[in-house]
Amino acid sequence: MIFKAGERIKHKNFGIGTVKYDDGETAGIRFEHGLEECAKIDIEPIISVADAIDQYEQARPLEVITKLQAEAIQSVNDTWGVFSLSRIDLLPHQLWVCKRVTERIPTRWLVADDVGLGKTIEAGLILWPLIARKIVNRLLIICPASLVEQWQLRLRTMFDIRMSIYTKETDTRKSDFWNTHPFVIASMHTLRKDSNGRHKRMIESDPWDLVIVDEAHHLNNDKHSGQTLGYKLIDTLQKNNRIRSMIFFTGTPHRGKDFGFLSLLHLLRPDLFSPEKNLTEQLSGLNQVMIRNNKQNATDLKGNKIFFPPKVRSETYAYSPEESEFYKMMTDFILTGKTYASSKSVQESKTIILVLITMQKLASSSVAAIRNALINRLEKLKQNRIETEKSSRNLLRTYQENQNGDETLDNMAILEEKIAEFTESRIRLIKNEEEKLDELIEYANRIKEETKINKLIEVLETDFSEKSVLFFTEYKATQSLLISALMNRFGNDCVTFINGDHCASGVINMEGKRMTLRESRENASERFNEGKVRFLVSTEAAGEGIDLQESCHTIVHVDLPWNPMRMHQRVGRLNRYGQIKPVDVISLRNPDTVESMIWEKLDAKIKSIMTAFGAVMDEPEDLIQLVLGMTDQAIFNDLYSQGSEIPKEKFSEWFDQKNVSFAGKDVINTVKAIVGNSDKFDYKEVAADLPRMDLPDIKPFFISMLTLNNRRVVEENSELEFKTPEQWKNEPGILPRYNNVIFERKSRNKEKIIMGIGHKIMNKAIDQAKNFTGSIAFVPYEFTEDVITVFKINDRVTDSDIKIRKKIAAVGINLGEEKYRLIKDSDLLGILNNIPTKLKEIKPAVTGENVRDIAKKSEGYIIENFEKLNLPFIYPNADLLAIIWPGDKKS
C-alpha cells in the first residue's frame, strides 16, 4: 500500500498520526510526540471525513465526541494546567505562571512571587502536564531542610505527586540511589556537601529532566568570598549536562549585590546573563527569565482582587519596677562588656560583642528567655564546662556565615541561644563575670510575672474574644512562658505550638504542674487549622512553609525580631491565598526600650519607602520584601546593639545618620528596575485567554468514556462509583473498582478521590479516546446550529524547544449565511459537554463533496486566524480531526 502525504494513519504503538512521506517499506509519520519512521506493516489507514460520508461509514457519534473532548481537554491543560489535580481552587496568576514556564522546553525560570501566592501550587501545575506527557520522568527538588517534608506532603496531598526524600544513609556506592529514585526531594544543607562520593554519583547518574530549587537565593556567588557550596553543586551538575530544565523559587532574588543576583541568573541562562557585566546592560533580558507577581495584583477568575491589606497596630505596655531594674542592669552589663571587649584582641573582641548582642536579643524577647541563658552560662563557667577551641570556632562561624539567610530562621534563633550560653577558656564577657551573672539571675528570679504577657492576655480578652490567634516569638523560653499563661487563663487544651525540635519544655499548666509538651508541626498546624485548638504559639519554625490561614486571621508578635524581614514572613503565614478576611497584625512594644524606639523609626522608614514607590509607579505594590532582602542583617544588628548607648535626645539624629545605607537610593532604583523588567501576570492582558473551566468540565467526558466501555456509573451527591474498564487496568496502582470519586477541589474528606489530569485512570480514558478513529458525528440541531470543523494544529518544525506540540481549535460555520467563527479549545469543550451521550440517529442530506468543500474553506479560515490563537509554533500546520454536523431543524 502506498500512503499519501497528509493521510491519517493509526500505529499499533504510537497511536494516530499523519503521513509526511512514503519511502517504500517505511513511511515518515508525524505523531503527537514528533516524527517517526515506521514500518508500513505496523500502520493502517484511517478513513477521511469526506470518504466516510461517501462510503456511508459513520462512527458512533459518542466516540467522535469523546475523541474531541479528550483532545480539547489536553490542549487546554497543556497550556494552562487548569485540569491538573489539586485540592484547592486555582488562581489566574498561578495558571499564567504554568503557561509561561512551560511554553518551551527546556525551561529556565526564576519565579520571585510575593510570599503567600502559592509557589507549591505553581510547581504542581507546572509539573502535572509535564509528568502526564512523560516530558518529565526524572525530577529533583532541592529546598531548605525544614521544608523537605512540607514539599513532599503538599505535592502528594494536593497533586498526588509522590516524591522520595533523600537521606545520606540510603545513598551508598552499592545502592545506586540516584538512578533508582526518579522523583527526589533533598535538603540543600545535606546535598551541597560532597560526603562519601555523593557528587560523583550524582554526576554519573542519569540527567534530570527538571530541577526545582526553593529558596534559591541560597545559591550565592560573592565576588570576593566566592561561591557557596549550593551554587557550586548546581554549577557542577550543569557543566556535566545533568540538568535539562530548571526552575528557581525565591521571594528575595537580589541580596544586595548585583554580582550575586547576576550569578543566580547566569545559572539559569548563561546565554543572557553574566556577573562580569553591568546589571543595567542586561535588564532587557530579565523578562525572559524572571517572573515577579505580587499580592496587590492577584485576582480571582473574575478579576476581583483577593488580598486585603493587613490591619497593623501596636499595643504598648510598661515594665514593672522589678522589670525596669532588671532591664537597666542587663543594659549596664552589656555596655560594660562592650567596653571590656575594646581592650582585647580583634578576634576576641568580636566574639565578646557577638555573645553580648545575642544576650540583648534574648532580653528583648522576655525575662524568661535571658534568664535561661544566664543560668546555663553560669553553670558552664562554674563547672568549667567549656567548649573546645574547635567547637567554639565552629559555632561562631556557623552563625556568622548564616546571618543573611543561608539558614532557617528557627535554626538561627537556636544558634543565638547557644551563643548566649557560649563559654570558651579564654573568653570572659566582663571582669568578675560569675559574680555579675549571679546578681542578674537573682534579680530575674524576683520577677514572677511579665507585664508583656499580662498585656497580651488583656488584649485577647478585650479585642479577640473567642477568636483564633497565631502568636510568634523567637525563642523557646518565651514560647513556653506564653503557653503557660494561655493554659492558666483559657484551659490546658486551648493551645498548641510549633518549634524546630517539636518540644516545649518548662510549661506550667493550670494545675501548676511543670511539664514538657511534644507535637509535630504538621499535627499542630492541622489541629489549629481545623479549629480544634484556639491558639498556636510558634517560633520562627512556622515563619516559612506552613499555611495557617484556614481558621485564623489574627497574628500577634510577642517579641520584635531585629530583622523586619521576619515580620513580613510571619504575616505571610496568614495573609496568603485562601485567607478570606483582612489580617489583624498586633505587635507588643514597650516605648521605654531601645528595641521599641528603633522599631518605630524603622516603621517610619519603611512607610517612606512605600510612599516613594507610589510616587513613581502607576500601580505601586508591596515591594518591601525585595527591599529587605537586599539589606544586610549586620545593619540591624548595629542599630540595636549600639542604640542603647545613645541618649534619647540624640537618638533621632543618630538613627538617621546610622541608617543611610538602609534602603538607599541605589537599592530603590535597583528594585524598581528589577520589578519593571520582570515578567508578571496582568489580568487585563490575559483575561480573554483565561479558560473559565475547572474539574467539573471534564466530568461529562469521563462519564461518557465509562459508558463506551460498558460500565454502569452510579452517581450520588456528585460522587461517582464504577468498575474500572478492563483495558484501563494495565498499569500498577489502578484499582478494580472506584468509590467516592469527585470532580471538585475543596473537599476536606481525604477519602474522596479527586479526579483530574494526572490521575492514572483519567489518563487512560484520554489515551483511549484519542485513538478513536471516527471523524464525523451528526447531532441534533438544538445542540449546534453550525457545522463545527475541529483541527489539530502543530508545528512543522520538530527540533524546536517547544513543549506544546499541538493545539486544538475549531471553526463554526453557519451554512445558510456562510459565516465563519473561530472557536478556542476551551470553548469547544463547552460545546461538546452540552451534547448528550445518547443521540437519536440522524442522516442529514450531505455528500462527501459538501464535506470536502466545508473542510477546505474552514482550513483556509483557521490558517488566516493563526495569529489570534497565540500559538507558540514557528511554522504552524492544521490537520482536520473531525466534523460535527447538525441535523435539519425539523429532524
pLDDT tens, 771-830? Answer: 898 888 888 888 888 999 999 998 877 655 555 668 999 999 998 888 999 999 999 999
Task: Count CB-CB contacts under 10 A for residue 586.
Answer: 21
Q: What whole-number distance in Å separates Cα of residue 731 and Cα of residue 751?
A: 22
The larger pLDDT score, comparing residue 570 to residue 426, is at 570
Predicted local distance difference test score (pLDDT) of residue 634: 75
Mean pLDDT computed over 440-453:
94
* Phi, psi for 659 (deg, rounded to 5): -100, 15
Strand partners, 537: 471, 497
For the stretch 405-436, pLDDT in tens is 444 555 667 777 777 776 665 678 888 889 99
Predicted local distance difference test score (pLDDT) of residue 874: 80
For the stretch 364-419, pLDDT in tens is 999 999 999 999 888 888 877 665 555 556 666 666 655 544 445 556 677 777 77
Angle at 357 between CA 353 and CA 358, to 5 degrees: 120
For the stretch 473-493, pLDDT in tens is 989 999 999 999 999 999 999
What is the three-class DSSP state of 316? Answer: strand
Domain boundary assignment for the chain: 1-46, 63-83+693-891, 87-293, 311-316+449-664, 321-445
CATH class of the structural domain 87-293: alpha beta
The CATH code for residues 311-316+449-664 is 3.40.50.300
Q: Tell me the average pLDDT of the chain.
A: 86
Decide: residue 26, CB within 10 A, 0-12 exposed, 13-18 middle, 19+ buried: middle
Q: What whole-number distance in Å separates Cα of residue 380 and Cα of residue 5?
A: 86
For the stretch 29-54, pLDDT in tens is 888 777 889 998 899 888 777 677 66
Predicted local distance difference test score (pLDDT) of residue 542: 60
Predicted local distance difference test score (pLDDT) of residue 545: 65
Predicted local distance difference test score (pLDDT) of residue 57: 60
The larger pLDDT score, comparing residue 723 to residue 501, is at 723
Residue 574 clears pLDDT 70, i.e. is over it = yes
For the stretch 290-328, pLDDT in tens is 999 988 788 888 888 888 888 988 999 999 999 999 999
Mean pLDDT computed over 604-608:
78
For the stretch 701-719, pLDDT in tens is 999 999 999 999 999 988 9
Mean pLDDT computed over 568-592:
87
Residue 626 clears pLDDT 80, i.e. is over it = no
Q: What does the DSSP 8-state code read for residue 395?
A: H
Q: What whole-number distance in Å separates Cα of residue 563 and Cα of residue 635?
A: 9
| The CATH number, out of the four listed (2.60.120.330, 1.10.1330.10, 3.30.70.580, 2.30.30.140), of the domain defined by the range 1-46 | 2.30.30.140
Residue 726 clears pLDDT 50, i.e. is over it = yes
pTM over 0.85: no
Nearest to 285 by CA among 673, 4, 806, 839: 673
Q: What whole-number distance in Å separates Cα of residue 286 and Cα of residue 204?
A: 33
Q: What whole-number distance in Å separates Cα of residue 140 and Cα of residue 185?
A: 6
Residue 659 clears pLDDT 80, i.e. is over it = no
Predicted local distance difference test score (pLDDT) of residue 707: 94
Mean pLDDT computed over 338-359:
87
Helix axes 409-420, 367-382, angle to 10 degrees: 50
- Give residue 730's pLDDT band: very low, low, confident or very high (50, 70, 90): confident
Predicted local distance difference test score (pLDDT) of residue 196: 87
The larger pLDDT score, comparing residue 164 to residue 384, is at 164
Predicted local distance difference test score (pLDDT) of residue 53: 66
Q: What whole-number distance in Å separates Cα of residue 74 and Cα of residue 834?
A: 18
> Rounded to an integer, what is the distance from CA 55 to the centroid of its chain?
55
- How far is residue 878 from each of residues 135, 257, 330, 361, measured CA to CA in Å? 23, 49, 78, 67
Predicted local distance difference test score (pLDDT) of residue 841: 66
**Same fold yes or no, 87-293 and 311-316+449-664:** yes
Q: What whole-number distance in Å separates Cα of residue 68 and Cα of residue 158?
A: 28
Position of cell 474531541? 68
Range 836-842, long-range pairs (CB < 8 A, 24+ positions)? 836/783, 837/62, 837/700, 837/703, 837/704, 837/707, 839/61, 839/62, 839/779, 839/780, 840/780, 842/778, 842/779, 842/780, 842/887, 842/891
Q: What does the DSSP 8-state code read for residue 757?
A: B
